[in-house]
Each structure stands twice: as C-alpha cells, then as structure tokens.
Structure 1
Amino acid sequence: MFKRLPGDEARNLVTTTPDTAVVFRPAVVTTPAIITIVILAWRLLAGLARTIWRHPIAITIASIPAVLTVMYGWRTALLLVTPAPVGLVAWALSDRSSFARWIGYRLLAWWRLIWVYRRHWQSVMVISGLGRHLRGRDYLPRLDKITCTSWADTVTVRMLDGQAVKDWTDRTDHLAHGFGSPSCRVTIAKAGRLTLAFPRRDPLATPIPVLPIPQQPTVGPVEIGKQEDGRPWRLKVHGTHVLVAGATGAGKGSIIWSTIRGLLPAVRAGLVEIWALDPKLMELSYGRALFGDRYAAAPEECADLLDQAVTVMQERAARFAGLQRSHTPTVEDPFVLVVVDEVAFLTAYQADRQLKQRISAALATLTTQGRAVGIGVMAALQDPRKEVMNIRNLFPDKIALRLDESEQVDMVLGDGARDRGALADHISPVPERGAGIGYVRLETSPDPVRVRAAYVSDTDIRAMVNQHEPDHPYPMTADDGRAA
C-alpha cells in the first residue's frame, strides 16, 4: 500500500529497497494568470463597496476634492472645497454636540477602525487564543462594525463557528490591553455576534452633586445619579426589592438618601411611606424626622417594625385577593419602602438567636410576597457572603459598589457578572474617585450597567429635613457623625 510522508523532506528521499513504499510528490497545478487577476479584482471591488457602505461620509469627504481637481483643476477645486471645512469648523464651534453626533464620532470610528482595531486585530486574536492558525491559514473572528460615543468604542464582532460567549468573557483582559483600553465589556448582540465596549475615558470620574428634589410626586423610577453613557440613572423601587452591597465608604448612603430625596414629594402627597431600620444609629438617624414613628434602631424595635410591615402586607393581600394583581399607590394604600441600613447586623451578627430568626423570617416574607401589594425593601450591607445574607437571591435588582474581593462581585450580581465587565473590586477606594460608583444588575437584564450615585452631604440632609418638617426639626450632630 502506498504511503505519503508528511513535510518537505519527502522530495529528498531516494531508496531502492523493495519493501519500502513508493513516495509520491504532490502535483503542483499552476493557476492561470487571468483567474488570479479576476480574483484579486473581485476582492478589491468587494472591499471598496464594503468601505463605501460602512463609511459613506468619510469616503465622500475624501473623494470630493479629488473629483473636483480632475474635472476643474486644483485652483477651482480649492476655491470650491474651502467653504466646506470652514462651515464644519463653524458648526463644531457653535453646536458641538450635534457636530459630534453626525460627523465627529463617525470620523473617529473610521480612524480607530483603521489605526487601532484592524491594525492589531490579527495579532490580538491569535495571541489571546480567540483566533486559530491551522495549516498555514489564520481563522479569525470577523470585525463587523465600530461605532464611537463620547466615552467608548463599541465593536461588533462575528464569532467563529463553535465559539462560545465564555471564550470571550474569559479573555477581556487580553482584549482590553491589546487595544489600549482600561477595560472590555462583552454583551450578546444576537446569535453568533457579540458587542465589545472599550472605554476611552471615565465619564464617572467626577463626583456628582446632589440632585434637586423633584417638583412632582412620583413612586419611581427615581433619578439618583448618572449612568456611564451619560443618561440619568433612575432606580426602580416600586414593584421590586433592591440590594445594595459595598465596603465601608463605598457610597451606600448616597444611594439611600438619593432615593429618599426622589420619593419625598410622594411622601408629602401621602402616596409613599418610608420605614427606616437603622441598627448602626449613624446613617438614617440624620433624617429621623422624615420617618416619624416608622423609625427603629434597637434590634427589638427593628423586629417589631418588620412585623408591622408583614401585617400590612398580609392585610392588603387579603383585600386585593381576586380583585387586582398589582399595586397602584393611593392615599389609602400608599407604597411602603422599608429601608434597612447594614442588614447583616440584624440577620447575621445579632446575638439573640430567636430575634435573628424573627427578623430573617420577616425579611424573607416581605421580599417574597410584598411586591404585588406595594411593599418594597431596600437593604444595604457590607459583606455579601451567603452565611451573612442568606436571602440575597430574593432581591430582583442588585447594586454592587466597591467590593474587597473579586468573588464577591458574582455573589452580589450573580454568576458571570464580573466576566461581563462588572469590575466592582477594581473601583478606587479614594472617596473622590470611587464613592458612589457601582454596577447595577436589573431583573430584566443580565448585563451589568456602570453607574454613579449623586453625593448627598450632611448639609443636604439637614436642609431636606428642615424643608419637610420646618416646625419640628430633629437635632443634628456634627458633620463627622455620619458614615457613608
């Protein structure tokens, strides 16, 4: 039986031994020049058509001077073309946002496609392991489209057949450093396609000042800060439960107080009641006058207040049964938001075992049955471990501020959140740079969103309390009495 030896050494083997198989060299077929020319011309035309389709504005701007020069000469072309850049400069100076949206970001996307992504695409894909080099040929994911915003590049990629999303989320560090970005976030665009976000700058680096109290009453979503893409961050509190996790000084107080400020007009209108549990006696005590008799600090008082919330929930459920499946806030049945600061002090670090079980049972009851009847829970804690907070999965919406360990990110936001770009363990511990910055994962979307809450100072809280209760101001202590 004939055998074919691999490699180039086969051509050098000569033998006359009868038992040795005959070695054949592969036949080399010369391709006619006309076929090669046709293939190259077709590829050139296809690439030109693709470039015109993807970057029509850039191609038009570049081709008009050349066409005018050929048709009318360079003097006429210069005379005709000069008003265009002058007009673009005037447009950019007079209305920078519209110029960037229609012209600037498109030109930036074309430039970064050529100079950054297409230039380094092959090397980054092969070295990171997302591409394959087989039999002298590179098989690479396809670079489809690039769009630019004020803060990031969005790259649409077509995966190789057989690749999974996890192959990309495991290599976000390779992609970020390969393309010169501080981070990379991976989301699914559709089957077989991914969207990679490469930030160019941090739009949340500057602290956000306190937001004004809304003029009209609302039960949410309430605006409490800003998202990374520049849009307002509106937090839903009615019809859900919110868990806020973060280390000391991460900015949990900013989220709590910004939410309270957003609900304050509805509280005045009687559509919302805020019940506050403050076992640390540091955070919520600053606005005690806002809560009235719905404020508790001692563990026994916190347990009683939670039991009252359960009683209200059960009474409403009995009245709503068979009549309605969702809650609409009214003066008779207002939305009740139970705010618990440092919930782990009540559920894990409480010495009284019976009291701890009582509090845990009440919180579990509220988080499993309270949404439909207008009872919401916002809980804040520092340590998200299961033994500390064993009902964290009962909170549909979760916020991860600065955390100490990378494993804690998935504990708060769910499995795979950190691989998709929720780097809460990388947030700066410096208050001016990192306080209030976090990642939100909503019940309706598995992709985390980077946000920053507005900072509410002690002076802002005092002003808010005095405005709400001008005749009965609650005595306040020094500014250094409240912990974030």
Structure 2
Amino acid sequence: MTLFPVRRKSREASNSRPALAVPNQLGEDDFHLPLGLHLLIVGTTGSGKTTLLSNILLAFDEFLREGSVRLLAIDLKDGVSATACAGFYTKIASTLPEAVDLLQETVELVKKRNAWLKSRHETEIRWSMQTPLIVILIDEALQLYGAASPEQKKLQAQAQEALDALLLTGRSAGIMVIAAVQDPRKEFFKSRDHYPERMALALNSKDEAKMALGDEAVSRGAAPWLISHSTPGRGWYYDDLGHKAIRFQVPPVQADEIRTMSSILEPFTHQQDIKSLATRQKELS
C-alpha cells in the first residue's frame, strides 16, 4: 500500500476568503494561499517550481471534488508537465496558438459573466458548480514573450493582450491566474505587477527577491537568494494581510498521488458555464 504525505483540507484564510492549504515541512501548520487572487511564482531552474505547482494542484482537491473550481493549463514546454497531471485540467494548451485560443475563450467568458453581474447589480461572481472559479495555471509564462519570428510575435501579442485583460478584469468574474516564471524582471515579464500574491523559490540575488516579493517582504526577512538548489521546493511567501514572510518547504509529490487524485475529476467547459448563466438569468427575469 502506497503511503502519501498527510494533506490537510483547505480552509478559509483569516480574511474569510477561501484559501488553499499548502503543506509546509518547516512548520507545524500549512500556509494558506487566498483563492481568487492572481499568484506569481518565481524561481530559477532547478528551484522546484514543478514540485510547488504539484502541491498547489493537490491543495485544490476539495474544491475540484465539489465542482466550485475548474483548472486550465498553459504549458508551452510541449505540454509535458501539464499532461502528467491531465486529469486535473479541463483544457491544456501546449502550443502558442492553443494558448491564444484558451486565453481568448476565457476573456469571452469574463465578458459574459460581467454582463450577468451588471444585469443583477452585483459586483462579484459567487463560485459554485454552475459558475466555478476558473484557475489558469501558466508554467514558464516567459514563453509568452520574446519571440523571434513575426508570426510568433503576433501570436504572443495576442496572448499577452488576452492575459492582461484577464489580470485586470477577471477577478470579479471568478478568474484566477497562477503564473510561474524564472526571471522576475519587468523587461522580461511585463505583467508582473498585476499579481497581488507572490511566492519565491531560489533566486540569484537580493534585487531579484525585491522584484519578486517586494521590498517589504525582504525587509521582514524573506531571503530567497540564500536558498540552496539542493533543497528544491523551499521558498518564501509573503502574507500581505498578516505582514509576515513565511518560509516554507513543500514535500515531494509522487506520480501515483497525482494519478489517484486526477482520476476522480469530471470535465467542465466554458460553454456549460455560459449556458448556466443564461438559465439563471432566465429564471430570475
């Protein structure tokens, strides 16, 4: 019988916003990531981004089981990492054209949801099985930038435009973006400032840490430039609400654990979401 690490259920954050409980081997308790707020993960090659993302995926367990969260993936490394966790995702984009389609489809969903909110004089979608929180996980988001050929540059520009729209207008509509990058500098990742939640694994310098987490996080003790690459999955998270830097070490995730969890999930499409909104609007009219 395979034994997996004990994973506590997700709980509410101290501000009553639903949160993901991510295991921390350096403390007695999990640390909590607020759901619905865009999250940026920064770490050099070999720092353990895949391990951290796998732990975050597993932390979505109870929300995925109840159907209040649906996951989409953009993995431009031929989709290898995302496909290993395919059961968690409604849709995986592994090429730039597929990424553009996924992002633009989600922008259209945001427009539909926001139109529904305006018709109801409401300000935020309440997540449910009918209108779940849509989480887009982008592995190596820097691949949406810096193309050489005109055709690739055009596609990247379309992807960036759609992503910026989601970052700026998606929160009220129940859209969350989790992006992982290697380099936090704005000349490489122009949308950095649109992510209110930040996590940093091993980085190269104190300056990179300030770009990734902010000056206040570093002043309160966050020091990702001191993390050894021999400890992948170790990093810092800045709890803005509690004004504290949290040092963490996520556990390794076994492939069997991912397969077991992903086998129980059911697919969901944007079309189902839009149809549900239309039905609810008709019932209320």
If the TM-score is normalised by the length of the shorter chain, which range does it land in? 0.7 to 0.9
Please tell me the root mean square deviation across aligned C-alpha atoms, in Å: 2.5
- Alignment CA distance shift 1:468-1:210 (3 Å): farther
1:62-81, aligned counterparts within 5 Å?
none
- Measure, in 2, the Cα distance between the counterparts of 1:424 and 1:273: 31
- Measure, in 2, the Cα distance between the counterparts of 1:368 and 1:468: 29
- Measure, in 2, the Cα distance between the counterparts of 1:298 and 1:275: 14
Matched, 1:360 2:160: yes
Residue number in structure 1 paired with 2:74: 277
State the AA in 1 paired with 2:58. Answer: R
Residue number in structure 2 paired with 1:394: 194
- Alignment CA distance shift 1:325-1:419 (3 Å): same
SS at structure 2 position matched to 1:448: strand
Deviation string for 1:407-452 (max 9, x for gaps)? 110110113533332110100111xxx2111111244355422122
Deviation string for 1:203-257 (max 9, x for gaps)? xxxxxx74437499xx94111122755321122222x100000011212122222
State the AA in 1 paired with 2:113. Answer: R
- Measure, in 1, the Cα distance between the counterparts of 2:155 and 2:240: 31
Residue number in structure 2 paired with 1:295: 92
Residue number in structure 1 paired with 2:39: 242
TM-score normalised by the chain length of structure 2: 0.81
Q: CA deviation at 1:284?
A: 1.3
Residue number in structure 1 paired with 2:141: 343
How many pairs were matched up?
256
Matched, 1:329 2:124: no
State the AA in 2 paired with 1:361. Answer: E
Structure 2, unaligned runs of 5 or more: 12-16, 267-285
TM-score normalised by the chain length of structure 1: 0.49
Q: CA deviation at 1:258?
A: 1.8
Residue number in structure 1 paired with 2:221: 421
Matched, 1:233 2:9: no
State the AA in 1 paired with 2:192. Answer: R
Matched, 1:267 2:64: yes
Deviation string for 1:118-145 (max 9, x for gaps)? xxxxxxxxxxxxxxxxxxxxxxxxxxxx
Q: CA deviation at 1:363?
A: 1.3
Deviation string for 1:34-66 (max 9, x for gaps)? xxxxxxxxxxxxxxxxxxxxxxxxxxxxxxxxx
SS at structure 2 position matched to 1:327: coil
- Measure, in 2, the Cα distance between the counterparts of 1:440 and 1:214: 19
2:75–2:81 Cα contact (<8 Å) kept: yes
1:277–1:341 Cα contact (<8 Å) kept: yes
> Given the alignment, which residue of 90, 100, 109 partners 1:312?
109
Residue number in structure 2 paired with 1:448: 245
- Alignment CA distance shift 1:368-1:211 (3 Å): farther
Q: CA deviation at 1:455?
A: 2.1
1:211–1:224 Cα contact (<8 Å) kept: no
SS at structure 1 position matched to 2:172: helix
Q: CA deviation at 1:318?
A: 0.8
1:9-408, aligned counterparts within 5 Å?
210-212=5-7, 214=9, 220-226=18-24, 228-238=26-36, 240-280=37-77, 281-292=79-90, 294-321=91-118, 323-349=121-147, 351=149, 352-408=152-208
1:313–1:370 Cα contact (<8 Å) kept: yes
Deviation string for 1:365-402 (max 9, x for gaps)? 11111111110000001111111111111000000110
- Alignment CA distance shift 1:447-1:458 (3 Å): same
- Measure, in 1, the Cα distance between the counterparts of 2:148 and 2:104: 17
2:39–2:179 Cα contact (<8 Å) kept: yes
* Percent pairwise identity: 26
- Alignment CA distance shift 1:309-1:389 (3 Å): same
Structure 1, unaligned runs of 5 or more: 1-208, 470-484
- Measure, in 2, the Cα distance between the counterparts of 1:289 and 1:393: 31
- Look at both structures and tell me which one has the larger radius of gyration over its CA atoms: 1
Task: Please identify runs of 4+ aligned residues in structure 1 that moved more than 6 A.
Answer: none
State the AA in 1 paired with 2:102. Answer: L
- Measure, in 2, the Cα distance between the counterparts of 1:402 and 1:349: 26
- Alignment CA distance shift 1:330-1:416 (3 Å): closer
Q: Which has the higher contact order (CA 8 A, sep 6+)?
A: 2
